[in-house]
Structure 1
Amino acid sequence: MKLNTLTAAFGLVAPTSALLRFGCAKLTVQRLDPLVNPGQLPSTHLHQIIGGNSFNVSMEPDKHDLPSLSTCTSCQFTEDFSNYWTAVLFFRARNGTYKRVPQMAQAGMEGTQGGMVVYYMSDALFDTAQKSKVTAFKPGFRMLVGDVTNGNRDDARDFRQLTYTCMTDQSSRFPESIGFPKTPCKGGIMANHRFPTCWDGVNLDTPNHQDHVSYPEVGTFESGGRCPSTHPVRLPQILLETVWDTRAFNNKADWPEDGSQPFVWSSGDKTGFSSHADYLFGWKADSLQKAMDGHTYVSAPMLKTQSISEQNKCTVPDMVKENFDGWLPQLPGVSM
């Protein structure tokens, strides 16, 4: 899908400078992936999904307008009917069985069932000025970051901003690692998904859901790195933080006998290098544009918020009818 011209890409979207931070409750946990496996029921592995309740097996951009088809969102801002999803974390016990790791709400968002914290920013997270200019996403925009087939550090170099934080408490953000933490984490494991921030200005999507976007040519978004000439339009940085509550699995006597870390993504990856996340833009009308134009830091008085209890009410039906609670002999859909 393309915009008609580069003029439309630059001329119709005002430059923005702001940072939004908000929580989203669990919309559903199912083997669904309308971006990579559209129409496939079930998809290859389990995902945890947040956002608008129009999420479905197939979501073709020309036929699926998220704001008009959704009746609720699991996110704090009621104008955000976007969908965001990642793989699900499992613990593999010494006897070879698996148990899904629960998700933990961050401070100030207690009561949120599952879910993530979402950021949209125009500068580094700690920069309260947020002075840089970025261009808000257009309707129909979608992208994927990461590669489910990655199994080593060299493979993961193309996605240098997909990381993990071994947390000691709720304030932990550093240090970050590219693979799974090797030791027990007192406060859980935070998975950090930072999406590319440079756009080609033409395509709202590409066949692999990645070629229309890019990381900066040099440096990072946080360091103000410049975009490559092939992708000149600077987008907001989307960061997803998911806290996996691994505290119940910190007894090393339950870990593999060789002492290796016991966590595995729902895709079957034991290294952590396959970390990936998907995004379907679905903000209502120009609400994101207005919010980013507001020059705000975290707060967004121009947006409507809803209570955590209302966020938790927004769900979608179970389309796969698959049991993945308790101890499992194998990962859903994955033969190990």
Structure 2
Amino acid sequence: MKWNTLVAASGLFAPSTALLRFGCARLTVQRLDPLVNPGQIPSAHLHQIIGGNSFNVSMDIAKHDLPTLSTCTSCQFSEDFSNYWTAVLYFRARNGTFKRVPQIPQQGIESTQGGMMVYYMSDALFDTAQKSKVTAFKPGFRMLVGDSSYSSRDQARDYRQLTYTCMENSASRSPESIGFPKGPCKMAIMANHRFPTCWDGVNLDTPNHRDHVAYPEVGTFESGGRCPSTHPVKIPQILLETVWDTSKFNKKEDWPTDGSQPFVWSSGDSTGFSSHADYVFGWKGDSLQKAMDGHTYVSAPMLKTQSIAEQNKCIVPDMVKEPIDGWLPKLPGDVMVK
């Protein structure tokens, strides 16, 4: 799907300098993946999803207008009907059973049910100036970062900054690792999903949901690295932070006898290298562009907000009837651990 090629070629992209940081409550947790497995019920593995309630088993780019079809969103900004999703973390006990790891809402969104913290940035996370110019996404835009089939460090090099933080307390943000932390984390494991920040300016999507976006040619987004000539348009960096409460599973007697870490993604990955996330743009009208043009840092007075109670009310019915909680003899979908 292509956007207006002439507009892309003309360079008519509005300058923007802003950082948005906001919480989104859980919309649903079920085996659906309208990007990788459109129309398939159920999809291969379990996902946690946030955002607008038009999320469905099939979200055709030409027919599925999220702001029009959604009646609510689980995100703080009520004009954001986008959908964001990642795999789900499980604990594998020594006896071979599995239990879903609960999520911890971050400071400021403590009452949300599950969910994630979402960032849209034009510069490094804690750069309050946010001087760089970025272009907001266009209707129909979608992308995928990471690969659920990866299981090695070399494979994970394809995607920059998909990391984990072994949290000692709620302020922990470093150090970051590429694979799962090797030992127990006092508070939690935070999964960090950073999406590519360069766009080809033409395609809203590509068959693999990856080729229309790219990482900077040199350096990183945070260091101001330039975009490659094939993907000249700088877009906001989306960062998803999910805090998994692994503290409930820190008893060494429950861990594998060989000392290896016991956490697995719902995709069956026990290394952490398969970390991945999906994004479908769904901001209403030009609200995101206005926010990114607003020279704001975290707060966004030009956007409408809703209460956490309203966020928590926004849910999607369960379309896949299967147990995902309690102690399970196998991962949902009978996914094998690798």
TM-score by length of structure 1 reads 0.99
- For 2:122, the equivalent position in structure 1 comes to 122
Paired AA for residue 248 in structure 1? K
Structure 1 Cα separation of the partners of residues 258 and 6 of structure 2: 55
Give 1:10 shift.
5.4
Give 1:52 shift.
0.1
- For 2:152, the equivalent position in structure 1 comes to 152
Match of 1:16, SS?
A: coil
- For 1:243, the equivalent position in structure 2 comes to 243
- For 2:75, the equivalent position in structure 1 comes to 75
Is the 8 Å Cα contact of residues 17 and 134 (structure 1) preserved in structure 2?
yes
Structure 2 Cα separation of the partners of residues 10 and 210 of structure 1: 24
Match of 2:332, SS?
A: coil
Structure 2 Cα separation of the partners of residues 110 and 208 of structure 1: 36
Paired AA for residue 246 in structure 1? T
Give 1:9 shift.
6.5
Structure 2 Cα separation of the partners of residues 29 and 52 of structure 1: 14
Give 1:25 shift.
0.0
Is the 8 Å Cα contact of residues 3 and 9 (structure 1) preserved in structure 2?
no
Structure 1 Cα separation of the partners of residues 100 and 12 of structure 2: 45
Give 1:154 shift.
0.2
Correspondence 1:267-306 to 2 at 5 A: 267-306=267-306
Give 1:335 shift.
3.2
Residue 136 in 1 paired to residue 136 in 2? yes
Match of 1:135, SS?
A: coil
Give 1:160 shift.
2.0
Match of 1:253, SS?
A: helix
- For 2:184, the equivalent position in structure 1 comes to 184
- For 1:208, the equivalent position in structure 2 comes to 208
Structure 2 Cα separation of the partners of residues 6 and 155 of structure 1: 36
Counterparts in 2 of 1:9 and 1:144: CA distance versus 1, 3 Å = farther
Give 1:7 shift.
2.2
% same residue: 83
Which ranges in structure 1 are unaligned for 5 or more consecutive residues? none
Is the 8 Å Cα contact of residues 23 and 76 (structure 1) preserved in structure 2?
yes
Structure 2 Cα separation of the partners of residues 160 and 94 of structure 1: 33
Residue 25 in 1 paired to residue 25 in 2? yes
Paired AA for residue 335 in structure 1? M
Structure 2 Cα separation of the partners of residues 185 and 9 of structure 1: 49
Deviations 1:14-57 (A, max 9, x none): 12110000000000000000000000000000000000000000
Deviations 1:150-206 (A, max 9, x none): 100000001121000000111110000000000111110000000000001110000
Match of 2:50, SS?
A: strand
Match of 1:192, SS?
A: strand
Match of 1:271, SS?
A: coil
Structure 2 Cα separation of the partners of residues 307 and 12 of structure 1: 36
Give 1:4 shift.
2.8
- For 1:197, the equivalent position in structure 2 comes to 197
- For 2:217, the equivalent position in structure 1 comes to 217
Runs (4 or more) in structure 1 with deviation over 6 Å come to none
Give 1:85 shift.
0.1
Give 1:252 shift.
1.2
Give 1:13 shift.
3.6
Which ranges in structure 2 are unaligned for 5 or more consecutive residues? none
Match of 1:15, SS?
A: coil
- For 1:308, the equivalent position in structure 2 comes to 308
Paired AA for residue 231 in structure 1? H
Structure 1 Cα separation of the partners of residues 12 and 63 of structure 2: 23
Is the 8 Å Cα contact of residues 201 and 233 (structure 1) preserved in structure 2?
yes
Is the 8 Å Cα contact of residues 27 and 74 (structure 1) preserved in structure 2?
yes
Match of 1:84, SS?
A: strand
- For 2:42, the equivalent position in structure 1 comes to 42
Is the 8 Å Cα contact of residues 142 and 205 (structure 1) preserved in structure 2?
yes
Match of 1:72, SS?
A: coil
TM-score by length of structure 2 reads 0.98
Match of 1:322, SS?
A: coil
- For 2:336, the equivalent position in structure 1 comes to 335
Structure 2 Cα separation of the partners of residues 180 and 82 of structure 1: 28
Correspondence 1:34-113 to 2 at 5 A: 34-113=34-113
Paired AA for residue 284 in structure 2? K
Give 1:6 shift.
4.2
- For 1:5, the equivalent position in structure 2 comes to 5
Paired AA for residue 171 in structure 2? S
- Which has the larger displacement, 12-21 or 93-102? 12-21
Paired AA for residue 227 in structure 1? C
Residue 257 in 1 paired to residue 257 in 2? yes
Structure 1 Cα separation of the partners of residues 183 and 168 of structure 2: 12
Counterparts in 2 of 1:258 and 1:311: CA distance versus 1, 3 Å = same
Structure 2 Cα separation of the partners of residues 306 and 320 of structure 1: 29
Structure 2 Cα separation of the partners of residues 221 and 158 of structure 1: 16
Structure 2 Cα separation of the partners of residues 44 and 258 of structure 1: 29
- Which has the larger displacement, 1-10 or 292-301? 1-10
